[in-house]
Structure 1
Amino acid sequence: MPELQRLRLDHVPALLTFEQENRTYFAASIPDRGDAYFADFTARLSALLAEQAAGICHFHLLVAPDGEVLGRFNLVDVADGSAELGFRMAEKATRRGLATATVLHLCTLAATEYGLTTLRASVALDNTASRTVLTRTGFVPTGEEVQLNGRPGLGYVRNLRHGGPEDGAL
């Protein structure tokens, strides 16, 4: 069974493989990271780990028992009890309910381990898979229209303090 792990420096090789193998797949629904991202990968990861150590962000990987990275789940811009959720799954790990289960688990971690009360997310309107995951995990549309690299999108929110779907939580 895959395990959600907090990002560590020893994840570099598996995470780089995940990003490279899925680059074309990701670019179909979210902005491409560009060649510079891959050229400076270890330095970028070190910077992310410094942000994580400072409590600004919380980065996680969904890791298979063999060490293969199946997904990334990030909480960024942590401030005032709130954070922005971002996630991406390897193409071969989609349509199995893993993203939904992992986002639900991360919502619990956000509330219990990180003391967060609200999560926000933004997704392109044509990214049906991510919109479905957000809806299934208790996120509700805010009505805020956003632009994601020139593509129309929508903002979502989930209140982590309450237990009912009417509050934006499960």
Structure 2
Amino acid sequence: MPRLEFLRRDHAPALLEFERENRAYFAASIPDRGDAYFAHFDARHQELLAEQASGLHFFHLLVDSEGAVLGRVNVVDVADGSAELGYRIAERAAGRGLATAAVREVCALGVTTYGLSTLRAVTTVDNAGSRAVLARTGFLPAGDIELNGRPGLRFVRDLRGTDGAAPEDVHMVRGSVRRRG
């Protein structure tokens, strides 16, 4: 069963493999990370861990029972109770509801752990899968944008009150997303 984990130093090899395996798949809907990302991956991974330790960003990996990375869900630019949400799911894991479950869990963490009241997200207009995940997890359209030269949409989710609570079918157990039932 896939579980959500906070990014750690020992995730580096599996995360690099995930990014390499899915590079072309991701580049079809979001800007490519570029060759420098892969050439300097270890240094970048250390930077991410330092940023997470400082409370600026919170990085999560969705991993399978063998430790392979199935996806990423990031909360970045944390300030004044608000942050930006970003996520990507491996091609082999797409369409199974994993992004929806992981985003729901991170929304709950936003309230209970990160002290957030609002999450923002953006996606390109042609990324139907991402738009569906955002709609299923309570994000509302908040305007049109241009995203790396492509038409895009901005979304916002208010986490205050009960909206940020974990849904009944998903809950956090020792850093893992588990489905009930």
Compute the TM-score of the two structures, normalised by the length of structure 1: 0.94
Inter-partner Cα distance in structure 2 for 1:28 and 1:105: 26
Matched, 1:119 2:112: no
Determine which structure has greater relative contact order: mean sequence separation of CA pairs < 8 Å that are 6+ residues apart, divided by chain length.
Answer: 2
Unpaired segments ≥5 residues, structure 2: 168-181
Note the alpha carbon deviations across 1:98-142, whole angstroms, 9 max, x for none: 100110011001110111110000100001100000000000001
4+ runs deviating over 3 angstroms: none
Inter-partner Cα distance in structure 1 for 2:60 and 2:145: 25
Aligned to 2:6: 6
Q: CA deviation at 1:92?
A: 0.5
Aligned to 1:138: 138
Compute the TM-score of the two structures, normalised by the length of structure 2: 0.89
Q: CA deviation at 1:15?
A: 0.1
Matched, 1:102 2:102: yes
Query: 1:153 is matched by which residue type in structure 2?
Result: G
SS at match of 1:95: coil
| Count of residue correspondences | 166
Aligned to 1:51: 51
Unpaired segments ≥5 residues, structure 1: none
Inter-partner Cα distance in structure 2 for 1:120 and 1:91: 24
RMSD: 1.5
